Chains A and B, each alone.
Chain A
Amino acid sequence: METKLQKDARPDTMLLNMGPSHPAMHGTFRIMLELEGEKILNAEVDIGYLHRGFEKTCENRTYFNLLPYVDRLNYVSPLINNLGYAMTMEKLLGVRVPERAQQIRVLMSELTRISDHLTCLGAMAMENGAFSVFLYMMKAREYLWDVVEFTTGSRMLTSYIRIGGVRADLHEGWQSSVRTAVRETRRALRDVAGLLDKNQIFLNRTRGIGSISKEDAISHGWTGPCLRSAGVSYDVRKAHPYLIYDRLEFEVPLGEQGDNYDRYSVRMREMEQSLRLCEQTSGLIPDSKPRVKADEIEPTEALRLGRLQKPPQRIRLSPNLEGSEADVYPRILTGDAPVVVPPKEDTYTTMEGLISHFLFFMDGYGIRPPKGDVYFSVEGGNGEVGFYIVSDGTDRPYRLHVRAPCFHVLSALEQLVRGRFVADVIPTFGSMNMIGGELDR
């Protein structure tokens, strides 16, 4: 197949593939370069190597089963995708989320935003030769993932933020693990800033390279850290405040020239702001009252007791049953509409609980929002993550489209790379933080 680049290439130039399976191309991105020596005359981008048919799959899954798919869009900051999807559905259903769930959501999405920037900058520095920066940042990320893991159960792709709240309350002793994570991340950021900020090699590779003007950035639909590095102050958390961001104070860092170094420094300063947000939110969240250690009994025992005319006392199930804390539910999940998995204690002990649990998962029932379409967006790691959902009243979305921020950021890569040298492609591409799952959906 003759690509466009091959058709209008000069005979004496060299055509090079910076192909999908390349260490710096995150495995699923290909740039075809027309080179005259080291200088790039023309570049053509070829994406779609990680197109997994997300939007088609969404049309065949129920709203509740979509959560794992939504996690895997921007898989570096998965909780923010969950948040975007859950809030879009809550806007469509008109459901209010309790205060504590909103605070936990802010804490969790800020933690994953930091791990998103850590991964992006670590990979960018490693591709430019600073391998130790990558190791420091991965070490810091382990602490952040510890907090996420203890609360949600899995390190990365959690499906923790559900429609109508969050899946479980914070784990006991969460304040100390958040404090350790923030302290370790600050130390790692200090080391990396010392290593890279005035490093002449890093400056030569990034300062003034891949720079974009404000008008071009806006015309390419840039949002997020890349747009802010061009000097345009647009952050969805400030422009359209959601959750409790209006009550928390944080700045929006801006860059001047919009080049690679500005994208790097905006992300570094943004991590500092997210750390401040984590501290403020953990100060706001009242510590959950210690769980009363009643005698937990197994479900079969509960059923046998339930058959008696009047079960002796309120049956408390053993905590290893998924979602069994009935007393915690009202604090972390909405009670407005039947959009939440009923607690196990009701399911096992009352007939209505059993029916509602069964109905929730039965085909054709579950979460059925009203007909119509809705668009809502949150500030993701790379920019504005927007969900456009068209619902036709059944329990499966008729159409679900995701506004992927790095799709727009990457559409400007050809323009930024033309006329530069081959070595400049790596830092420019690294600073844009391309995530395959989000770009190709």
Chain B
Amino acid sequence: MEKEDLIEEIRARFSAGIESYAESLGDQVLVVRRENLLALMSGLRAAPFDYAVLLDATCVDFLASENRFEMVYHLFSLSRNRRLRIKTSLPGGNPVVDSLSGLWKNADWLEREVFDMFGVGFIGHPDLRRLLMYEEFEGHPLRKDYPWRKEQPLIPLKD
């Protein structure tokens, strides 16, 4: 069922947006520029490559580096049974990237969770609100500079 590897064709067709390609521990990894992310994703979802499933979308906070946030997407093609990991880095100042909720429906919740945990903005997201934490919660817990045990109780707690 595994057709031949289309990674060369992907790199050829979207060479503008792709910064680099690596093969880490058997997985194919594409590092993409932020501006061309949406175009590349819709291209990958289309016919020849057929990455129909957005397995997962998450974010990593590299506090030290200049491009602080790094979005990591995992795509999976059902027909070709191949996985692909796509990374794009966002500056710490205004971490904003195009939303993929137009292409895949589960991107809606995934991006809301990343916004809730990291504070990354998504352009074109229908309803960007906190997903896991409560509205009264200030700050984004999964950022490296958020203290691990800083509680913000909703109701007064007896100690």
Does B74 lie within 8 Å of A48, measured CB to CB? no
Does A390 lie within 8 Å of B106, measured CB to CB? no
Q: List 30 A-B contacts (CB under 8 A).
A: A1-B135, A48-B132, A48-B134, A51-B133, A55-B142, A56-B141, A56-B148, A59-B148, A216-B105, A219-B105, A219-B106, A220-B105, A221-B54, A221-B104, A221-B105, A221-B106, A372-B25, A373-B24, A375-B27, A375-B74, A375-B83, A384-B55, A386-B56, A386-B74, A388-B72, A399-B60, A403-B74, A407-B110, A411-B105, A412-B105
How distant is the Cα of A56 from the Cα of B143 in the complex, in angstroms?
9
B-binding residues in A (CB < 8 A):
1, 4, 47-48, 51, 53, 55-57, 59-60, 91-92, 216, 218-221, 223, 232, 234, 239-240, 372-375, 377, 384, 386, 388, 390, 398-399, 401, 403, 407-408, 411-412, 440-441
Task: Kindly list chain A residues whose C-beta atoms are within 8 Å of the C-beta of B148.
Answer: 56-57, 59-60
Does A219 lie within 8 Å of B104, measured CB to CB? yes
Interface string of B102-141 (1 = CB under 8 A from A): 0011101110000001000000000101111111100001
Taking the closest CB of chain A, its distance from the CB of B73, in whole angstroms, is 11
A-binding residues in B (CB < 8 A):
24-27, 52-56, 58, 60-61, 72, 74, 78, 81, 83, 85, 104-106, 108-110, 117, 127, 129-136, 141-142, 144, 146, 148
Task: Kindly list chain B residues whose C-beta atoms are within 8 Å of the C-beta of A220.
Answer: 104-106
Task: Kindly list chain B residues whose C-beta atoms are within 8 Å of the C-beta of A441.
Answer: 132
Does A374 lie within 8 Å of B24, measured CB to CB? yes
Q: Which of B53, B127, B135 has the most CB of A within 10 A?
A: B53
Closest to B144 in A: A59
Does A374 lie within 8 Å of B25, measured CB to CB? yes
Taking the closest CB of chain B, its distance from the CB of A90, in whole angstroms, is 11
Of the candidates B52, B132, B146, the one whose C-beta lies within 8 Å of that of A47 is: B132
How distant is the Cα of A53 from the Cα of B106 in the complex, in angstroms?
22
Does A218 lie within 8 Å of B52, measured CB to CB? yes
Taking the closest CB of chain B, its distance from the CB of A57, in whole angstroms, is 8
Interface of B is mostly: loop
Taking the closest CB of chain B, its distance from the CB of A239, in whole angstroms, is 5
Does A232 lie within 8 Å of B134, measured CB to CB? no
Task: Kindly list chain A residues whose C-beta atoms are within 8 Å of the C-beta of B110.
Answer: 407
Closest to A415 in B: B105
Task: Kindly list chain A residues whose C-beta atoms are within 8 Å of the C-beta of B85.
Answer: 375
Taking the closest CB of chain A, its distance from the CB of B128, in whole angstroms, is 12
How distant is the Cα of A202 from the Cα of B50 in the complex, in angstroms?
38
Interface of A is mostly: mixed
How distant is the Cα of A388 from the Cα of B71 in the complex, in angstroms?
12
Closest to A218 in B: B52
Task: Kindly list chain A residues whose C-beta atoms are within 8 Å of the C-beta of B133.
Answer: 48, 51
Of the candidates A47, A57, A401, the one whose C-beta lies within 8 Å of that of B58 is: A401
How distant is the Cα of A317 from the Cα of B76 in the complex, in angstroms?
51
How distant is the Cα of A45 from the Cα of B100 in the complex, in angstroms?
20
Task: Kindly list chain B residues whose C-beta atoms are within 8 Å of the C-beta of A386.
Answer: 55-56, 74
Task: Kindly list chain A residues whose C-beta atoms are within 8 Å of the C-beta of B53.
Answer: 218, 221, 223
How distant is the Cα of A57 from the Cα of B148 in the complex, in angstroms?
7
Closest to A88 in B: B25
Does B60 lie within 8 Å of A390, measured CB to CB? yes
Task: Kindly list chain A residues whose C-beta atoms are within 8 Å of the C-beta of B142.
Answer: 55-56
Task: Kindly list chain A residues whose C-beta atoms are within 8 Å of the C-beta of B26.
Answer: 91
Task: Kindly list chain B residues whose C-beta atoms are within 8 Å of the C-beta of A408.
Answer: 106, 109
Taking the closest CB of chain A, its distance from the CB of B83, in whole angstroms, is 8
Does A239 lie within 8 Å of B81, measured CB to CB? yes
How distant is the Cα of A232 from the Cα of B76 in the complex, in angstroms?
14
A sample of 13 more A-B contacts (CB under 8 A), given A219-B105, A234-B78, A408-B109, is: A48-B134, A51-B133, A218-B52, A221-B53, A221-B104, A240-B81, A374-B27, A375-B27, A375-B74, A377-B55, A388-B58, A388-B72, A399-B60
Assuming A1-B135, A221-B106, is B55 touching A403 (CB within 8 A)? yes
Taking the closest CB of chain A, its distance from the CB of B159, in whole angstroms, is 20
Q: Which of A53, A60, A216 has the most CB of B within 10 A?
A: A53
How distant is the Cα of A399 from the Cα of B61 in the complex, in angstroms?
8
Task: Kindly list chain B residues whose C-beta atoms are within 8 Å of the C-beta of A53.
Answer: 141
Taking the closest CB of chain B, its distance from the CB of A437, in whole angstroms, is 13
Task: Kindly list chain A residues whose C-beta atoms are within 8 Å of the C-beta of B127.
Answer: 4
5 shortest interchain CB distances as A-B pairs = A48-B132, A221-B106, A403-B56, A51-B132, A401-B58
Taking the closest CB of chain A, its distance from the CB of B51, in whole angstroms, is 11
Task: Kindly list chain A residues whose C-beta atoms are within 8 Å of the C-beta of B109.
Answer: 407-408, 411
Closest to A50 in B: B132
Task: Kindly list chain A residues whose C-beta atoms are within 8 Å of the C-beta of B132.
Answer: 47-48, 51, 440-441
How distant is the Cα of A48 from the Cα of B117 in the complex, in angstroms?
12
Taking the closest CB of chain B, its distance from the CB of A87, in whole angstroms, is 12
How distant is the Cα of A135 from the Cα of B53 in the complex, in angstroms?
38
Taking the closest CB of chain A, its distance from the CB of B11, in whole angstroms, is 20
Taking the closest CB of chain B, its distance from the CB of A270, in whole angstroms, is 19
Closest to A55 in B: B142
Does A218 lie within 8 Å of B78, measured CB to CB? yes
